[in-house]
Amino acid sequence: MKKKIVLISDFDGTISKKDFFYMVIDNLLKDKKDALAPWNDYLNGKIKHIDALTGIFSQIHLTQNELDKFISTIEIDPYFYDAAQYCMEKNIPFYICSAGTNYYIKKRISDELLKYNIVLISNDASYSQEEGMKLIAPAETSPYYNSNTGVSKQAIVQKLKDDGFFTIYAGDGKPDFKSAQIADVVFAKDMLLELCKQHGIKTQLFDNFSDILNYIRRTNV
């Protein structure tokens, strides 16, 4: 019997046009070099991914109202909605797994998560104007825990594979690489695309979600 498809996607830079942490650095923080230092420390292997994001987000000192307004400006791939609609109509499970935080994802696409039955698995976060945003990893006992990224995207993909699904993964960054290594089909852009090329992992053309939608339409017959 043919395997049932599942779509698993990263959020930042994949569903959204620009990583939230880059939006924060570019629009909210004055000293760009200082602001970006935690991210460079992560890329150089000095600190954990989750600590790099908290290092950047804790520099946000907007009022709650200002922060909510800022989150509402996160630009979403317009074809994401079409893909989500199609998946819902065809009973294709759609997971968003993010090593960012559900704090801004839920605020930005709360209606769509409900409307299209999308499962969101991400880190929690707290926010106060004084201390900024701090990411909270899942409990270490969670099957999706990873000490580096908090949520383990790879564990989510592996679980769905073990459940017998044909896994389609979409992502753009370094934290997506382990998922891309085990997914059945990979839609990759930016850093993830480079990593896949370096390691000989086949990827599909991925400019936006219409590429994924067209692939699923062709495959899900």
Query: Considering beta carbons, is residue 13 or 55 the nearer one to Mg ion?
Result: 13
CB of 22 to Mg ion, least distance (A): 10
Query: Considering beta carbons, is residue 22 or 61 the nearer one to Mg ion?
Result: 22
Contact 184, 168 (CB under 8 A): yes
Query: Considering beta carbons, is residue 12 or 77 the nearer one to Mg ion?
Result: 12
CB of 86 to Mg ion, least distance (A): 22
Q: What is the DSSP letter of 16?
A: B
CB of 24 to Mg ion, least distance (A): 14
Binding site for Mg ion (CB under 5 A): 10, 12-13, 172-173
Q: What is the DSSP letter of 30?
A: S
CB of 61 to Mg ion, least distance (A): 25
Query: Considering beta carbons, is residue 18 or 202 the nearer one to Mg ion?
Result: 18
CB of 64 to Mg ion, least distance (A): 25
Query: Considering beta carbons, is residue 149 or 158 the nearer one to Mg ion?
Result: 149
CB of 13 to Mg ion, least distance (A): 4
Query: Considering beta carbons, is residue 31 or 56 the nearer one to Mg ion?
Result: 56
Provide the 3-class DSSP secondary structure of residue 204: strand
Buried b (16+ CB within 10 A) or exposed e, 139-160: eeeeebebeebbbbbbbbbbeb
Please count the other Cβ atoms lying within 10 Å of the Cβ belonging to residue 202: 10
48: left (phi over 0), alpha (psi -120 to 50) or beta: beta
C-alpha atoms less than 13 angstroms from C-alpha of 26 in its C-beta half-sphere: 8
Contact 22, 40 (CB under 8 A): no
Q: What are the Cα distances from residue 18, in Å, to 5, 11, 14, 173?
A: 27, 10, 8, 12
